Amino acid sequence: MSWWSDGDEADDEEYSEYDESSVRVRPNPKANRPRTKQRPAYAEAEEGVVWTVDRGRYGVLMDAGTPEEREITTARARELGKKSVVTGDRVDVVGDTTGAEGSLARIVRVHERTTLLRRSADDTDAVERVIVANADQMLIVVAAADPEPRPRLVDRYLVAAFDAGVQPILCITKTDLADPEPFAAHFSCLDLRVVTTSSTKFTEQELAELRSILDGHVTVTVGHSGVGKSTLVNALTGSNRAVGVVNTVTGRGRHTSSSTVSFKVPSGGWIIDTPGVRSFGLGHVNPENILQSFASHAVFPDGYRPRDGIPLDQAHDWEIVDRVAAGELGQVGRERMESLQTLLGNRGSSVG
């Protein structure tokens, strides 16, 4: 298993032995009968939200927001089969749901998800890994320096966010080390909210702005290792996630966070800290959505009139490419389009 512990791989491979529901204590007299498709309805099941996944165990928050709110430890019931359970999932739980020391309940159902953020190992790999369920915002965290920010990686996150139906926000950290403006300028052709922070002097204003963005939402952080995701989550929520150091030679983080964990934002809402990933493949994304979502988030200069009266997001893909290449979104737009075309090219898709 890789260092990335998002649950799926953990459950289906190494950690399946920890699922007590798979332990058979005596010979099963029904072993030779065909399996029934009927499953128990679990009318007594209680609903909760998965707030973290760690090595085959799922932390579930029960009765959130009530005096009975409690965190319980669960395993997945065998009948879930290969279905993944990830942070953010709404689940039905049976068994001991008291949360008492040493208790273990079972997840028997996963509710339908409103959104699903996924990545693949690389762009040609259609096998997806689910990162979180039911988030409605994505905080794309990049550092102004150390590690050096890369616009093309942000393009990837943007595509994944649009594909998942999640609102992206760009957060540039470490503004004490470099001016964030030149990097932010790469995205001026898009309707993308940009916030900046510096952990050496988190100002109340910065934190208040971020909290107002998080208020009432479920926000998942994404970004390379070492960009400061956990540092930010700690500052916003008072949590105590371990933070790492960035190697001064390679400029890489140490992959300090290894699990995906949700934290309550004091003002309301949740922020989910994720481990930095080395690759954020988009092999699972429908290429048809990529240019459309780019066009629909474009920002046009004042007085702009769409060519032939057709808004950019309603144009055919080839025409979007053509119009952006002709300068409808300026030089910045051309660069973003080039990046998207490279991305599509990696996937073996052609555009225009």
Ligand X SMILES: Nc1nc2c(ncn2[C@@H]2O[C@H](COP(=O)(O)OP(=O)(O)OP(=O)(O)O)[C@@H](O)[C@H]2O)c(=O)[nH]1
Q: Kindly list the residues in this chain that would bind Mg ion in the complex (CB under 5 A).
A: 229-230, 256-257
Phi, psi torsion values for 317, nearest 5 degrees: -55, -45
Cβ proximity of 219 and 135 under 8 Å: yes
| Sheet strands (E) in the chain | 46-54, 57-62, 70-76, 90-95, 105-110, 116-120, 128-133, 137-143, 167-173, 193-196, 218-222, 260-264, 270-273
Q: Is residue 147 close enough to count as binding ligand X by CB under 6 A?
A: no
Rg (CA), the chain: 22
Q: Is residue 87 close enough to count as binding ligand X by CB under 6 A?
A: no
DSSP3 helix / strand / coil % (the chain, rounded to 5): 30, 25, 50
Distance between CA atoms of residues 84 and 13, nearest Å: 12
* Partner whose binding site includes residue 199, from Mg ion, ligand X, none (CB under 5 to 8 Å by kind): ligand X
Q: Is residue 251 close enough to count as binding ligand X by CB under 6 A?
A: no
**Which residue number, 227 or 236, has a Cβ lying nearer to ligand X?**
227
Residue with structure tokens 């430890």?
73
Shortest distance in whole angstroms from residue 156 CB to Mg ion:
19
Number of C-beta neighbours around residue 178 at 10 A: 16
Closest by CA to 174, choosing from 231, 97, 254, is 231
Q: Which of residues 290-329 bind ligand X (CB under 6 A)?
A: none
Q: Which of 256, 296, 346, 349 binds ligand X (CB under 6 A)?
A: 256
**Which residue number, 198 or 267, has a Cβ lying nearer to ligand X?**
198
DSSP letter assigned to residue 97: -
**Which residue number, 35 or 201, has a Cβ lying nearer to ligand X?**
201
Q: Is residue 334 close enough to count as binding ligand X by CB under 6 A?
A: no
Please choose, out of 5-13, 75-83, 98-106, 196-204, the segment that lies near ligand X by the rule CB under 6 A.
196-204
Q: Is residue 245 close enough to count as binding ligand X by CB under 6 A?
A: yes
**Which residue number, 188 or 198, has a Cβ lying nearer to ligand X?**
198
The SS3 call for residue 211 is: helix
The SS3 call for residue 115 is: coil
| End-to-end Cα spacing for the chain | 39
Residue with structure tokens 């930010």?
232
Render the burial of 190-219: b for 16+ CB within 10 Å, e for the rest.
bebebbbbbeeebeeebeeebbebbeebbb
Distance between CA atoms of residues 139 and 261, nearest Å: 15
Q: Is residue 247 close enough to count as binding ligand X by CB under 6 A?
A: no
Shortest distance in whole angstroms from residue 134 CB to ligand X:
22
* Partner whose binding site includes residue 38, from Mg ion, ligand X, none (CB under 5 to 8 Å by kind): none
Shortest distance in whole angstroms from residue 154 CB to ligand X:
15
Q: Measured in whole angstroms, how far is the alpha carbon of residue 304 from the centre of its chain?
A: 34
* Partner whose binding site includes residue 200, from Mg ion, ligand X, none (CB under 5 to 8 Å by kind): ligand X
Phi, psi torsion values for 234, nearest 5 degrees: -60, -45
Shortest distance in whole angstroms from residue 344 CB to ligand X:
27
Shortest distance in whole angstroms from residue 273 CB to ligand X:
7
Shortest distance in whole angstroms from residue 203 CB to ligand X:
12
Q: Is residue 255 close enough to count as binding ligand X by CB under 6 A?
A: yes
Shortest distance in whole angstroms from residue 8 CB to ligand X:
19
Q: Is residue 227 close enough to count as binding ligand X by CB under 6 A?
A: yes
Q: Which of 188, 199, 296, 346 binds ligand X (CB under 6 A)?
A: 199
Shortest distance in whole angstroms from residue 91 CB to ligand X:
26
Q: Which of 21, 73, 114, 198 binds ligand X (CB under 6 A)?
A: 198
Nearest residue to ligand X by CB is 276
Binding residues for ligand X (CB under 6 A) = 173-174, 176-177, 197-200, 223, 225-231, 243-246, 253-257, 275-276
